[in-house]
């Protein structure tokens, strides 16, 4: 079992729709969770971080964390073609301070 799992996609949504990206993790002791966006050939950039159960909103982005289900998600409202990218879920395991990445979900927003 991979430590951080994501559906590779592509997830295709029309412009203006809500895109929902999902991630599960295996280490129940994980404490910190991140979503990075990566355009093709570019470096990852941080979109959202979340540390406690519930929702965290920042503009069009909402991160949701459910530690009991070991599940973290990212919602993108009013999706734009410029949101088309690969979204990487990452988790810090409690004892290691190392960031473990999922393989990413490719999002395509159709004009």
Partner 1 sequence: DADVTQTPRNRITKTGKRIMLECSQTKGHDRMYWYRQDPGLGLRLIYYSFDVKDINKGEISDGYSVSRQAQAKFSLSLESAIPNQTALYFCATSDPAQQETQYFGPGTRLLVL
Total of residues contacting partner 1 (CB under 8 A): 21
* CA 95 – CA 82 distance, rounded (Å): 36
Report the distance separating Cα 6 and Cα 89, nearest Å.
7
- Answer for which of 34, 64, 79, 107 binds partner 1 (CB under 8 A) is 34
Q: Interface with partner 1 includes 57 (CB under 8 A)? A: no
When asked if residue 49 is in the footprint of partner 1 (CB under 8 A), the reply is yes
Q: Between residues 17 and 101, which has the closer beta carbon with respect to partner 1?
A: 101
The least CB distance from residue 48 to partner 1, in Å, is 10
Q: Report the C-alpha gap between 68 and 79 in whole angstroms.
A: 29
Q: How many residues does the chain have?
A: 111
Alpha carbons 104 and 36: distance in angstroms, whole number = 9
Residue matched to tokens 């050939």: 41
Q: How far is the CB of 41 from partner 1 (least distance, A)?
A: 8
Residues that bind partner 1 (CB under 8 A): 8, 32, 34, 41-46, 49, 51, 88, 90, 92, 97-99, 101-104
């Amino acid at each position: 079992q991979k430590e951080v799992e994501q559906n590779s996609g592509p997830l295709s949504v029309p412009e203006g729709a809500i895109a929902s990206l999902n991630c599960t993790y295996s280490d129940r002791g994980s404490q910190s969770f991140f979503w990075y966006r990566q355009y093709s050939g570019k470096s990852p950039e941080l979109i959202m971080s979340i540390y406690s159960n519930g929702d965290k909103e920042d503009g069009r982005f909402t991160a949701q964390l459910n530690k009991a289900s070991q599940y973290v998600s990212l919602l993108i409202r009013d999706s734009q073609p410029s949101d088309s990218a690969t979204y990487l879920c990452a988790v810090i395991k409690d004892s290691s301070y190392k960031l473990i990445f999922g393989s990413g979900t490719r999002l395509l927003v159709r004009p």
